[in-house]
Structure 1
Amino acid sequence: MDKELLDDVTAVDDAELARSLKEVWHVNRYMGGNPALFRHIRQFMRQAPKHRAVRVLDVATGLADVSLALTEWSRRQVIPVEITGVDIHPRILRLAAERTAHVESIRIEHGDGRALAYPDGAFDIGFCNLALHHFVEDDAVLVLQELSRVCRLGWVVTDLERHPAAYAAAKLLAKLVWRSPVTRHDGPLSVRRAFTAGEAAQLIARANVKGNVKRHFPFRLALVGHE
Structure 2
Amino acid sequence: MASPDFSRRADEPEWMDVRQWPRADFAAILNDLEQANLLTFAAHPTLDFLARLTRGWPPGAELRVADLGYGRGDMLRRIHRWAVSRGLRPRLTGVDLNPHCRALAGELTPPGLAIDWHQGDLFDWAPAEPPHAIVSALFAHHLPAADVQRLLTWQEATASHGWFVNDLHRHWLAWRGFRALAWAMRWHPCVRHDGALSVRRAFVHDDWRAMLAEAGLAADIRWHPLFRLCVGRIK
Contact 1:32 1:220 in 2 (8 A): no
Q: Map 1:6-85; keep pairs closer than 5 Å.
A: 6-10=16-20, 12-46=21-55, 52-85=61-94
Deviation (angstroms), 1:127: 0.1
Other structure's SS at 2:121 match = coil
Q: 1:51 to 1:170 in 2, by over 3 A?
A: closer
Residues 44-83 of structure 1: per-residue CA shift (max 9 Å, x gap): 1225576642111111111110000011111222211100
SS at match of 2:221: strand
Deviation at 1:120, TM superposition (A): 9.5
The normalised TM-score by structure 2 is 0.88
Partner of 1:189: 197
Question: TM-score w.r.t. structure 1 length?
Answer: 0.91
Show structure 2 runs of 5+ residues with no match. Answer: 1-10
Selected match of 2:126 from 118, 122, 126: 118
> Larger deviation: 128-137 or 69-78?
69-78
d(CA) in 2 for partners of 1:145 and 1:54? 22
The amino acid of 1:172's aligned partner reads A
Q: How does 1:67-216 map to 2 (within 5 A)?
A: 67-100=76-109, 102-113=111-122, 115-118=123-126, 122-216=130-224
Q: Report % sequence identity.
A: 27
User: CA shift at 1:220, angstroms?
Assistant: 0.6
Between the aligned partners of 2:149 and 2:25, the Cα distance in structure 1 is 31
CA contact (8 A) 2:179 2:196 kept: yes
User: Residue 33 of structure 1: SS of its match in structure 2?
Assistant: coil
Structure 1: unaligned runs, 5 residues or longer = none
* Runs of 4+, deviation exceeding 6 Å: none
Deviation of 1:9 after TM superposition, in Å, equals 4.9
Supply the distance in 2 between the matched residues of 1:208 and 1:117 (Cα, whole angstroms).
Answer: 23
Inter-partner Cα distance in structure 2 for 1:111 and 1:208: 27
Contact persistence 2:170–2:203 (CA under 8 A): yes
